[in-house]
Amino acid sequence: MEKKKFQEEAEELFEAPAKLLEEGVVFIEKEERVLASKKPFKRVKEYWGTLGPGLTTGAADDDPSGIAAYSQAGAKYGLQLIWLSLFTYPFMATVQEMCARIGLVSGQGLAANIRHQYSPSALHTVTILLLFANVFNIAADLGMMAAASRLLFPSIGLEMFVIFFALVSLILQIFTPYARYAKYLKYLTFALLSYVVVAFSIGLDWGAVLRHTFIPSLTFSKDQIFLICAILGTTISPYLFFWQTSQEVEESILRGETTIAERRAQMNPHILKKMRTDVWSGMFFSNLIAFFIFAAVAGTLYSNGITDIITADQAALALRPFGEFAFLLFALGIVGTGLLAVPVLAGSTAYAISESFGWKHGLYLKLKQARAFYGVIIVAMTLGIIANFMHLDPIRGLIYAAVINGVIAPFILFFVVRLSSSRHLMGEYANRPFVAFVGWVTIVVMGISGIAAVATLF
């Protein structure tokens, strides 16, 4: 009896590890299934975490000026010019990547690099051109934000809205820590998705949409040439070059790289890969939104005979599938993108001027640490407010702001391509021949469109 009991206990003892192993395998399999189910969410979270200056810059590119240019093109020519949203993507992304690479490798902003590599006259020319374009763009964006808001609150004057939005933008830039402010900018990009919803809700002929996207079409009329320059100018804009470069520097400073030498020393292929993901994703988002604005406006305004957008309420009709919420969504989209773009416009101006004179600069600094830098932001915003008191036409102002950017862009692009191609400055991270070629082609295309647009005025 005792022998039998001993044998049973021995068998249980030897079977225990096998049971534990079996239970362990089952547990591990369950954990693997749980982890596998979480992987897509984890990857999305990691991808979202890699997005920063590139996404913000891309979304800021779809500012009220961009929305006006794309909407005017969609209303006037239907789907004919939608191919530009695909055509501009590689040029825009390549240029912004050059700017980002300059910031990461040199540890300094674009204007600072121009100051070290070129003559003072070249630097001053670039800075003056940028200041002029940006102030005009700020004025037009503030005016359109005010006009959109008046659709909801008609009893409030345009000037009051202009002052209000200018003050909100200033407060965000001056008194909000950069890390938090950058996070806000990322989430403001979702305001642009209303056009995507419209495009899918109005029964578009997607075969025709894709055909016009991949097969370019032009009529070469004066109006169309002028509008093409506006589209190129609002897509490949000078203020984005300065902003992108300086934001990469700001990101490096947030990582603890407080000196130029530290930022240069920390540059490596991993950082470069992360930057490229950010930039190309941001520019893809920007051009995708432009594509859907073209499609939505062509399917609503153009198809119903509204071929010229003169007022904000006409532009808002592109969102009329939302019914009584159309004006609300239009106002939210314009105000959201405006709050994203106006600080970028004023900030890029401040970076350029501060770097030109060697002043302390950066959104990571407090007001008392960089008074001149924030002073430029305040002056640029004030000039934008004053322009609106001179009764600037919001829609026409936005289109002209885009054209001004298109005319000025080639001059500043010249320095971007030269600097990013310099072995002396960039070392192993200098442009490869094909990338440099794309940069020079961009300059030629922008130059031709700018000259053609100016010629249409005579």
Q: Could you say which DSSP state residue 318 is in?
A: G
Q: Which residue has the tokens 């702001």?
A: 401
pLDDT tens-digit readout, 122-141: 999 999 999 999 999 999 99
Greatest alpha-carbon span in the chain: 116
Q: What angle do CA 249, 107, 433 make, to 5 degrees?
A: 105
Enter the pTM of the model.
Answer: 0.86
Q: Residue 133's CB: how many other CB atoms inside 10 A?
A: 26
Alpha-carbon distance 59 to 237, whole Å?
Answer: 12
Q: Could you say which DSSP state residue 431 is in?
A: P
Architecture of domain 78-455: Up-down Bundle (1.20)
Amino acid sitting at position 107 = G
What is the pLDDT at residue 143?
A: 93
Alpha-carbon distance 206 to 393, whole Å?
Answer: 34
Q: Report the phi/psi class of residue 256: left, alpha or beta, with left for phi > 0 and alpha for psi in -120 to 50.
A: left
- 245: pLDDT confidence band, cut at 50, 70 and 90? very high
Q: Which residue has the tokens 């049971």?
A: 19
Alpha-carbon distance 248 to 108, whole Å?
Answer: 9
- Predicted confidence (pLDDT) at residue 46 exceeds the cutoff of 80: no
Residue 426, both tokens: 């960039």
Q: Report the phi/psi class of residue 131: left, alpha or beta, with left for phi > 0 and alpha for psi in -120 to 50.
A: alpha
Query: What is the average per-residue pLDDT within 278-300?
Result: 92
- Predicted confidence (pLDDT) at residue 156 exceeds the cutoff of 60: yes
Percentage above 70 pLDDT, the chain: 89
Of 396, 410, 397, residue with least CA distance to 452: 410
What is the pLDDT at residue 32?
A: 53
What is the pLDDT at residue 185?
A: 67
Amino acid sitting at position 271 = I
Side-chain half-sphere CA neighbours of 119 within 13 A: 3
Side-chain half-sphere CA neighbours of 391 within 13 A: 0
Amino acid sitting at position 346 = A
Under 8 Å between Cβ of 400 and 141: no
What is the pLDDT at residue 10?
A: 46
Q: Report the phi/psi class of residue 406: left, alpha or beta, with left for phi > 0 and alpha for psi in -120 to 50.
A: alpha
What is the pLDDT at residue 337?
A: 85
Indicate the helix (H) or strand (E) that contains 349. Answer: helix 326-357
- Predicted confidence (pLDDT) at residue 37 exceeds the cutoff of 60: no
What is the pLDDT at residue 336?
A: 83
Average pLDDT, the chain: 86
What is the pLDDT at residue 176?
A: 81
Alpha-carbon distance 69 to 330, whole Å?
Answer: 15
**Which backbone phi and psi does 168 adopt, to 5 degrees?**
-60, -45
Q: Can you give the residue ranges of every domain in the chain?
A: 1-37, 78-455
Alpha-carbon distance 102 to 430, whole Å?
Answer: 9
Alpha-carbon distance 43 to 169, whole Å?
Answer: 33
pLDDT tens-digit readout, 2-25: 455 445 544 554 454 445 444 444
Alpha-carbon distance 209 to 303, whole Å?
Answer: 13
H-assigned helices in 176-237? 178-188, 194-201, 206-214, 222-235
Q: Which residue has the tokens 């079409």?
A: 217
- Predicted confidence (pLDDT) at residue 142 exceeds the cutoff of 50: yes
- Predicted confidence (pLDDT) at residue 233 exceeds the cutoff of 70: yes
